[in-house]
Structure 1
């Protein structure tokens, strides 16, 4: 089943948050999900060691010698596999990209993030030169609903003009996403009296997952 890898060489773009939101939201809708934590900080492993009853399986011991095999093995058993990759252009990242059905590139609306997103795209294109196209989509993270800075608008326009595939749904700035790591629970498990905006965060997460699933379906039909 589909392998989704989340990659950007820049730190702080929301890779781990994106991976956790995708994994737990898919699981909330009944899918079997494995999430690979390839970030040296192991935030997702720490989350899994918490009290959450979510059925998401987290694997934190993959390396460059086995990541592709492990991703494929989990995909044969689970409905979705998500991989949170380390923030560097490494052999592990290259191997994971080659195994992926979709690469999601999270970025914030800044020139520095845009530059690193372009690096990620170039890295993906380099892998594609050897084995064929690797589908990818840029995901804007930590955006403010209903408001976009001038920088963000300019970057979006530049990407559109260059034909860069972008997800229409952003992963908005929500306190609830940070609280998932604080309380080590999924969105639906947290107490709405302790975490602000849970309903909006769940709505955003559902929209993002729905769009990614639709993208995967479209890619499968095209293939």
Structure 2
């Protein structure tokens, strides 16, 4: 299947939340995957090992960029999918992960500053795709959106910038924050519907195993 990297030029966009959500969803489906946490905060790996409540899945925390490259390559030979949660661009591990990616998911909030950072991330992906001489598909997913009007405007801005937004988005909901403390993936309500729509769209793109 490949390597799915969740990337962004800075922190606070929801990279770890998305990595956690996708991992918990796939674990419930008994998918063959592993999560690699390359962020120095180790939020995703700490969550999966000490807080998460659900079917177990393999998680690795690796800050060293040289070891990270080998770990992603090794896991890519063993698993159908490898999910990589990355730090910001000030850390070389981010570039190493993107260069190893088959697909890149870019979480983005709806402010002008966040849209600017999403463009910077896409430019990084395109540069690394050029240097590795291969295509690296990337999509933007709007995260922590407070209204449908804002989501539509932000999606139009993303398209106008030559980027590709996903059809679905994640709202600004307490359930997502609660998940990071409770370890439980939302299974009811609006948050659960948003996550199911996200997973369905990623599966349709063949970024996630069916």
Deviations 1:54-102 (A, max 9, x none): 2222211242102222112222222321111001244311111111111
Q: Find the residue that maps to 1:65 and give its secondary structure.
A: helix
| Paired position in structure 1 for 2:194 | 204
| Paired position in structure 2 for 1:108 | 109
State yes or no: 1:148 paired with 2:149. yes
**Does the Cα contact within 8 Å between 1:7 and 1:15 map onto a contact in 2?**
yes
| Paired position in structure 2 for 1:221 | none
State yes or no: 1:16 paired with 2:16. yes
Which whole-Å CA distance do the structure 1 matches of 2:165 and 2:27 have between them?
24
Between 32-41 and 109-118, report the one with greater CA deviation: 32-41
Q: Find the residue that maps to 1:3 and give its secondary structure.
A: strand
Unpaired stretches in structure 2, ≥5 consecutive residues: none
Which whole-Å CA distance do the structure 2 matches of 1:172 and 1:56 have between them?
27
| Paired position in structure 2 for 1:178 | 177
Deviations 1:160-180 (A, max 9, x none): 234311111112222221112
2:141 is aligned, of 116, 139, 142, to 139
Distance 1:20 1:124, change over 3 A: same
Alpha-carbon distance, 1:11 to partner: 1.6
The structure with the largest alpha-carbon Rg is 1
**Does the Cα contact within 8 Å between 1:39 and 1:85 map onto a contact in 2?**
yes
| Paired position in structure 2 for 1:191 | none
Which whole-Å CA distance do the structure 2 matches of 1:16 and 1:51 have between them?
13
**Does the Cα contact within 8 Å between 1:86 and 1:93 map onto a contact in 2?**
yes
| Paired position in structure 2 for 1:46 | 46
Alpha-carbon distance, 1:118 to partner: 0.9
Alpha-carbon distance, 1:215 to partner: 1.3
Q: Find the residue that maps to 2:5 and give its secondary structure.
A: strand
Alpha-carbon distance, 1:110 to partner: 0.5
**Does the Cα contact within 8 Å between 1:89 and 1:123 map onto a contact in 2?**
no
Alpha-carbon distance, 1:51 to partner: 5.5
Which whole-Å CA distance do the structure 2 matches of 1:123 and 1:109 have between them?
20
Which whole-Å CA distance do the structure 1 matches of 2:79 and 2:24 have between them?
14
Q: What's the TM-score once normalised by structure 1's chain length?
A: 0.84
Distance 1:139 1:69, change over 3 A: same
Which whole-Å CA distance do the structure 2 matches of 1:202 and 1:53 have between them?
15
Aligned pairs, number: 206
Alpha-carbon distance, 1:2 to partner: 2.1
**Does the Cα contact within 8 Å between 1:27 and 1:55 map onto a contact in 2?**
yes
Q: What's the TM-score once normalised by structure 2's chain length?
A: 0.88
| Paired position in structure 2 for 1:79 | 80
Which whole-Å CA distance do the structure 1 matches of 2:186 and 2:32 have between them?
17
CA RMSD of aligned residues (A): 2.1
State yes or no: 1:159 paired with 2:149. no
**Does the Cα contact within 8 Å between 1:108 and 1:143 map onto a contact in 2?**
yes
